[in-house]
Amino acid sequence: MKKILRQVAIISFGVMFTIQAYAGDGIKTIVKGSVQGSEIKSVLMSRRDGMRETKITDSIESDGQFQLSMNLKQPGFYVLSTNSTNLDAVEMYLRPGDQISINMEKDQVVMSGKGSGLNQFLYKIQKSMPYQGSVASFTQTYNDRVKAIHNSSDEEVIRNKAILLGNEQGKYLDKVFGPVIEYKAHGGTPDMMEVNFADLNIRLVPEITIHPNWNQTVTELMFAKMRAGQLKVRSINTWIADFGNAVDHPKLREEFILALINYSASNGDLALNKELKEALPLIKDPKNIARLNAMKGKLAMNLNNYKSAPTGTDMSAYAFHDLNGKQVSISDYKGKIIYIDIWNTGCRPCIAEMPFLKKMEHEMHGKDIAFLSVSCDYNTEVWKNFLQKRNQTDEHQLIMGKKDPFFEKIGRSGIPRFVILDKNGKMVNNNCCKRPSNPLLKVYLTELLNQ
């Protein structure tokens, strides 16, 4: 088969790149360049989402030459970076057939060639309208960038306006909610991290899905709407449908619902079968229905990982120990719903949830519910010292044994792990995926109390 040669030449921060794209069965992209009089020792080209198969690197040869190659099958956002911490990574939207030359002099970048109009525009708004400061300033920056996109007269910008708007919206929400998502995943500080976000009525565009973690940031937006009273969740079994219906665009609504289902299925959410009932009618595209059917297999497989201690299992005989070494039995809390947080001092996501759990306990004070924090640390002194430093030495802080029968009964697994028992100490949910930082947990617990 005849191969068609396409080239993209890039000069960035004094580095000359040549991208040669070959169209045939696929598109092979070769990145060549040279570096003269620079401390740069290596270069890296990757998709913005960090996908391994599109991440390539090369060392700079003694004569300043290097070569990179990758498959470029479709347009997308790429990041060009170097080993130098003094140079910012360059984000560009590359399309097969682009022929871009970039000249940089004294922090000024001028592009020319096919595809240069779009990327010159991207560079301009990134340099002249940076995201910095507070959440309020993020909103202003986002609005300024959107205005610039709408007002541009460049033909390439106009043709790609939808992609640019979706990209900027994804960046905006990531700037706002990205730190919260990072905190929950890799937290560890004793403080609770929340965002005071006022732009709750932002109209989401379907092209936001071009941003890597769009589904996480949109979910955090829905949480913010709930906290502000702008999103009503009818019941814990309707939250997926309620979140989906909060998205105006039908295409994005289906994508968001599928993302929520996929995430829940991946985490072995035991309640998902009930939650699917109202969400399913909102999936109408035949292709999405096929994707949903494929997810059901993942749901069944992951649920099997939590088959121990099914609903109704009597757990009332199990016991732990408090800070004074006194045995505390689950039966001691008879007459109360019990929410158990299983954690340890080396689990940073566990520690990130602790202040949220305290807040939830305060909000539900006086109700028939007990919040127990049960450590699975092997070293009791480490556990005690940790709690004393954080001034969390109340009677609800408990610890398991090394091979605790409770943990074995529910199926020892990763942490944080949350378990809910009813007022008789019987299992309600042995893998509650609504963490304390998730406002849906309060909806769930309130319904259990009212049953």
For residues 62 and 186, state if they share a domain: no
Which one has a higher pLDDT value, 31 or 380? 380
Distance CA 169, CA 3 (A): 37
Site of tokens 């900027």: 168
Is there a single domain that holds both residue 279 and residue 348?
no
Q: How far is CA 302 from the centre of its chain?
A: 20
Helix axes of 161-186 and 116-128: crossing angle, nearest 10 degrees: 50
Give, to the nearest 10 degrees, the angle between helix 272-279 and helix 250-266.
170
Asked if the model's pLDDT at residue 23 lies above 60, the reply is: no
pLDDT score recorded for residue 33: 47
Inside any domain, residue 250:
yes
Reported as a single tens digit per residue, the pLDDT across 390-403 is 888 888 999 998 78
Nearest to 94 by CA among 108, 106, 109, 80: 80
Task: Provide the residue range defining the domain that includes 379.
Answer: 319-450
Judge if 249 and 294 occupy the same domain: yes
300 and 324 in one domain?
A: no
Judge if 182 and 300 occupy the same domain.
Answer: yes
For residue 30, the domain's CATH number is 2.60.40.10
Same-domain check for residues 65 and 179: no
314 in any annotated domain = no
Per-residue confidence (pLDDT) for residue 265, from 0 to 100:
83
- The most distant pair of C-alpha atoms in the chain lies apart, rounded to whole Å, by 79
- Average pLDDT (313-328) is 95
- Asked whether residue 161 is domain-assigned, the answer is no
pLDDT at 173 over 90: yes
| Domain-terminating residue out of 115, 132, 149 | 115
Statement to judge: residues 412 and 378 lie in one domain? yes
Q: Cβ neighbours of residue 373 under 8 Å, at least 6 residues apart?
A: 341, 343, 354, 357, 392, 396, 397, 398
Q: Is residue 128 part of a domain?
A: no
pTM equals 0.87
Residues 15 and 53 in one domain: yes
Taking alpha carbons only, the member of 233, 242, 172, 229 closest to residue 203 is: 172
- The answer to whether residues 186 and 275 belong to one domain is yes
232 part of a folded domain: yes
CATH of the domain at 406: 3.40.30.10
Predicted pLDDT at 43: 63
Residues 28-66: tens digit of each pLDDT: 655 444 554 456 677 676 777 755 445 566 665 665 556
User: Are 293 and 324 in a shared domain?
Assistant: no
Task: Tell me which of 263, 280, 306 is where a domain ends.
Answer: 306
Domain-embedded: residue 157: no
Total domains present in the chain: 3
Rounded Cα distance, 60 and 67, in Å = 9
Are residues 414 and 296 part of one domain?
Answer: no
pLDDT score at 368: 97
> Is 186 inside any structural domain?
yes
- Specify the amino acid at residue 109: V
pLDDT in tens, 227-265: 999 999 999 999 999 999 999 999 999 999 999 998 888
**Cα dist from 36 to 33, 40, 89, 238, 350, whole Å:** 10, 9, 19, 61, 49
Is residue 207 one of the residues assigned to a domain?
yes
Judgement on whether residues 334 and 297 belong to the same structural domain of the protein: no
**Which residues make beta-bridge pairs with 82?**
43
